[in-house]
Amino acid sequence: MRTVIFDLDGTLVDSSADLIAAANHCFRARGLGDLLDPAADAETAFHGGRAMLTLGFSRVDEHDKALVEEDYPRLLEAYGARIARHTTLYPGAMEAVGALVEAGYGVGICTNKPEALAEKLLAELGVREAFGAMVGADTLAVRKPDPEPFHETVRRLGGTPGRTCLVGDTETDRLTAQAAKVPSVLVTFGPAGETVAQWGPDAVIGAFGELVEVVEGLGL
């Protein structure tokens, strides 16, 4: 069976505002105020909790890695408590997923978000059942760009190795696809914008309405 594996944050959903809010919760608890901006720092949000904390603390000359590790569990707790307050699916995302399923593709998610948080977010958005498999950052002992989480997602779908592709928004997704020896499709509507083209994906899309035709053109 042919499969299409999606990244989550920055690809299927815009979760940057809720991620930034969780980081700012940690900074406010230390009396530092809101150190991150939901719009300007959106790209950092998609690099994970530790990246957000590191950036925020750097703005007040706090470079102690111990602070990042101390606040990371607090960030996850704060994020989980309000995981879908501002998060939205990108326009056309679920229509594209449905069209792929109708065309005979299996669809799954491979994300560097912790598995429990990814499951909770998908459930709160009401779209978990649309995906046949979901592998998170801590599902296995390794995470993207190691190819094993991607391969595991394909296996859980019952997919055919080599007849699959990865849809994402970051260089990590491009490197994951390269390591897995499969095509990559990167979106330009995520925080990296048009710069995704510089990472050399097999295809780039500016809207989900383009996805099915692009995937069909990959010859999976």
**Contact criterion met (CB below 8 Å) for 109 and 7:** yes
Give the C-alpha separation, 212 to 217, whole Å.
Answer: 9
pLDDT of residue 172: 95
pLDDT of residue 65: 85
Residue range 13-19: mean pLDDT, rounded: 96
**Half-sphere exposure at residue 121, Cβ-oriented, CA atoms within 13 angstroms:** 30
Mean pLDDT score of the chain, rounded to an integer? 96
The Cβ of residue 73 has, within 10 Å, a number of other Cβ atoms equal to 11
Bridge partners of 108?
A: 5, 133
Residue 133 has pLDDT above 80, yes or no: yes
Residue 62 has pLDDT above 80, yes or no: no
pLDDT of residue 181: 97
pLDDT of residue 46: 86
Residue range 80-108: mean pLDDT, rounded: 97
pLDDT band at 47, cuts 50/70/90? confident
3-state SS class at 203:
strand
Domain chopping of the chain, boundaries: 3-14+87-217, 16-81
- pTM recorded for the entire structure: 0.94
Give the C-alpha separation, 94 to 134, whole Å.
Answer: 15
Q: Which residues are annotated as catalytic?
A: 7
Give the C-alpha separation, 17 to 83, whole Å.
Answer: 10
User: Domain 3-14+87-217 is of which CATH architecture?
Assistant: 3-Layer(aba) Sandwich (3.40)
pLDDT of residue 186: 98
Residue range 200-204: mean pLDDT, rounded: 98
Residue-wise pLDDT tens digits, 97-109: 999 999 999 999 9
Give the C-alpha separation, 114 to 121, whole Å.
Answer: 11
Give the C-alpha separation, 4 to 213, whole Å.
Answer: 13
pLDDT band at 61, cuts 50/70/90? confident
Give the C-alpha separation, 55 to 77, whole Å.
Answer: 19
Residue-wise pLDDT tens digits, 135-183: 999 999 999 999 999 999 999 999 998 999 999 999 999 999 999 999 9
Residue 66 has pLDDT above 80, yes or no: yes
